[in-house]
Every structure is written in structure tokens, then in C-alpha cells.
Amino acid sequence: MTVPGPWPSFSLLFFASEEADFHHGKFDLFRATSEFADRHDFEAVWIPERHFHPFGGIFPNPSLPGVLLAQITSRIRIRAGSVVMPLHSPIRVAEEWAVVDNLSGGRVDIAFAIGWNPNDFVIAPHAYAERKQRTFEGMDLVRRLWEREAVEFENGAGEKRAVKIYPLPRQQRLRIWLTCSGGAERFVEAGARGVNVLTALLFQGVDDLAVKIAAYREARARHGHPGPGHVTLMLHTFVAESDARAREAVREPFKRYLESSVDLWKVGEARLDTMSARKRADLLEFAFERYYRKTGLMGSVEACAKMVRAVSGAGVDEIACLIDFGVDADQTLASLEHLDRLRRGVVA
């Protein structure tokens, strides 16, 4: 049975639960799943920016794996998800992604993030206090450079010089997302600027998200931007032939994934480190059950279709499926066939 009516598009998103040490084939899952997505009419592949941590640390610069995707795919959109704008020169961001746009024949989109972890800002410590302002200013400068405008910057002699980027991008216009993971304020700011939204259910439920999306779209209309915009929702994803198979495959890897990443989300909090082994295990089991039942896309095609309907009803246009959270690579690749059924709305 195929689901009638509107159905969101599907993409893949990576964050990488990987060992820090070198080993051969570290990017094999990224390559193979991206090739699958390209063959099966998924919308995009999202590549993160992460620093100084094994969790996500194989992606310190999303434009570099973007070059790989430009070579091994032919159709799928190649998206930064996200460039942490305050850490970078907008000139370098525009130049690097213009290269990927040329290599891919014009398939680049960029999401920008403000950044939250102070440790990331050892790259640009002066930018942390003003990271929000720098993000919005940087987004605008990247857009202007992309659209072939000569933009003034100060050179080494303290003089103003207008510069253009090269190579010129293949696309005349750049589609931009803003990463919105907090309160409704960020969604409203995205709407006021007329950009798209990349979000997750890490700190919000589906009902909360629906309210924020409504605020985003109201802000777009109020500021005269055409259309409803595009909302992309990241969901941890593993689809299997049955709920029992999915739960068996993801339980232990996902708990290890949560444990490895907790210090990123709770900066300055050492609760897990000070817990007894039993309490630590109980907390991780509770967190796993919450993700599995309420904030993930995990289970059979039929069970996952319920979550797809729920987030679509909240206003989501695209689901970005985070698949690299530590499940065995062969199992992850096999699960993509079930995910593709879900993508096509074939739920029974």
C-alpha cells in the first residue's frame, strides 16, 4: 500500500560515530550509502562540521567530503549541514563550496550554524561572544560573493579592496539553511531572513516543533518572503523488516553513541562521569527508549510511517536520516532498502 497525499522528501545526514584512530575504510559507509541515495532518488546528502572529538570528528570540513560526493554521485544535492560560520572567513566558505559546485555541476546547498561548544572556538576564540551576529553577517557575505558581487574587505595594508571569488559557482543563486536547535526565536530569525531551516528533535518534541515551524512561516510572510520555505528535520534512522529486528540492531550501538556524545551536549556537566555503573546504565537505557519511541525513525516501515506522518503534519518538508550512529556497516547498508520503501511511501 502506498501512502496517499503529501509525503516529505528523504535525505541522508552524517555525524559519524567512529573510533578516533586511523583505520582503512573509515569513509566507506559514507561513500556506499551516498551512492545508494544517489541511485534511489533521495534528495540530498548532508555533511557536518565537527572538531576536536571522535564523535563526528571525521568531518572537520564538510567541503572536503563534498568533493568526493561530487565525483561519485550525479544527481543528489550536496549539502553542508552545517558550516559553523563564526569559525571561518566567508570568503573561504564561498570559495571552497564554489569548487564543489563546479565539480558537481551545480548541486551545492549550505546550512549555516551559530555554534554552541566553546571548545570549538579555539579556532576563533575572539568570535565566540559575537557568534550570532557573525553568523548572520557571514551568511549574507557568502550569498553576495556567490552571486558574483564584488565585496569590500580590508587588505593587509589596512586598505579597502573589492574582491570577487573564483571559480565562479555553477549556480547563480545559493540555497541557504539556518540550523535551528533551540527556541522559537531562531526559527523566527530564519523566517525573517527568508532562509530555510535545518532542525532536530534533540531538545523538542513534535508538538513543540509544529509551533516553531508555524512561527517560522508567519515570520517569512510578515517580512515579504515568497513561499513557505523549506524545513528539514534530522532524525536518527534505522528501518528494518520488523520492530524487533530494528530494536535488536540499534539498542547497544545507540547507547554507546549517546554515551560518547554526552559531553558535547552537556558542556560543563559531569553527571555521567560521577554516576555508579548501574545508574549510568539505567540512564542510558532510559535515553535510548526515549529516542527510539519518540524522537527517532527506528523500527519497521509501518511503525516509522507513523513518525513520518506526525512530522509531516507538523510542517516538515524533508527528513534528513542520520544513519551513522554505530550500527554495523553491513546492517546499515541492508537497512537502506527498507528506508527506500519508506521514502516511496510503500508502507505495507
Mind listing the pLDDT tens digit for each residue in 141-183? Answer: 999 999 999 999 999 999 999 999 999 999 999 999 999 987 8
Residue 116 lies in a domain: yes
**Per-residue cell: 88:** 571561518
Percent of the chain with pLDDT over 90: 76
Pair 32, 253: CB distance under 8 Å? no
Calpha distance 164→297 (Å, rounded) = 43
The residue ranges of DSSP E strands in the chain, in sequence order, are 9-13, 44-47, 77-84, 108-113, 151-154, 160-163, 176-179, 196-200, 231-240, 296-300, 318-322
Across residues 256-263, what is the average pLDDT? 72
**What is the pTM for the complete model shown?**
0.93
Calpha distance 200→20 (Å, rounded) = 25
Residue 39 lies in a domain: yes
| AA letter at 237 | T
What CATH number should be reported for the domain holding residue 155? 3.20.20.30
How high is the pLDDT of residue 120?
92
Residue 348 lies in a domain: no
Q: Provide the number of structural domains found in the chain.
A: 1
**Per-residue cell: 92:** 573561504
**Helix pair 90-104, 131-146: axis angle to 10 deg:** 40
Q: Which of 73-77, 85-89, 198-202, 305-309 has the lowest mean pLDDT?
A: 198-202
Check pLDDT > 80 for residue 4.
Answer: no
Q: What domain range is 214 assigned to?
A: 9-343
Out of 51-55, 135-139, 323-327, give the one with best mean pLDDT: 135-139
Residue 143 lies in a domain: yes
Residue 293 lies in a domain: yes
Altogether, the residues listed in the chain come to a count of: 348
| AA letter at 10 | F
- Name residue, grid cell 550525479: 74
Check pLDDT > 50 for residue 270.
Answer: no
Check pLDDT > 70 for residue 268.
Answer: no
Check pLDDT > 50 for residue 335.
Answer: yes
Nearest to 199 by CA among 13, 6, 4, 7: 13
Residue 263 lies in a domain: yes
Residue 3 lies in a domain: no
Pair 299, 250: CB distance under 8 Å? no
| Average per-residue pLDDT for the chain | 91
Residue 56 lies in a domain: yes
Q: Which of 17-21, 97-101, 201-205, 249-253 has the lowest mean pLDDT?
A: 17-21
Across residues 284-312, what is the average pLDDT? 92
How high is the pLDDT of residue 56?
66
**Per-residue cell: 254:** 545507540
Calpha distance 153→308 (Å, rounded) = 46
Residue 348: is it exposed, middle or buried by C-beta count within 10 angstroms (0-12/13-18/19+)? Answer: exposed
